[in-house]
Amino acid sequence: MEYCHITTDEQAQLGGDGCLIKRQGREPAGKTMINSYVCIIDVLDTDEYLKQTQKHDGKTAMEKRSRPHISWLAYCFDT
C-alpha cells in the first residue's frame, strides 16, 4: 500500500500527525461520507466548531466521537 506519513513538526505529538494513502479501488459514489481528501484540524472546542459548521450551512458527516486518551473527532462536509 502506498502510504505517506505526515508530521506537523520535529516534536510531533500523539494525534498531531497524519498520512496520505492512495485510494484503494474505484472512486466512491456521490454522497458517500468520505469520498476525497480528509483534513483533520485541531480546535479548542469541538462542540462550538460543530455549532459553527451548522450555522454556516455545513453538514456533519460523522458525529463527534471519542478517540480514547487523545481527543474528540468529528467529520464535516466543507461547504
Which ranges of the chain would DSSP assign to H, the alpha helix? 46-55
pLDDT tens-digit map of 3-43: 777 776 666 555 556 777 777 777 767 766 666 667 778 88
pLDDT value of residue 40: 79
Residue 8 φ/ψ, nearest 5 degrees: -90, -20
CA distances to 7, 56, 57, 74, 78 from 61, rounded to whole Å, are 25, 15, 13, 8, 10
Residues of the domain holding 42: 3-77
- Count of domains for the chain: 1
Bin 53: left if φ > 0, else alpha if -120 < ψ < 50, else beta: alpha
> Is the overall model pTM greater than 0.85, yes or no?
no
Going by the DSSP 8-state scheme, the letter that residue 74 receives in this structure is E
Query: Would you state the pLDDT for residue 46?
Result: 93
Write down the pLDDT at residue 13: 56
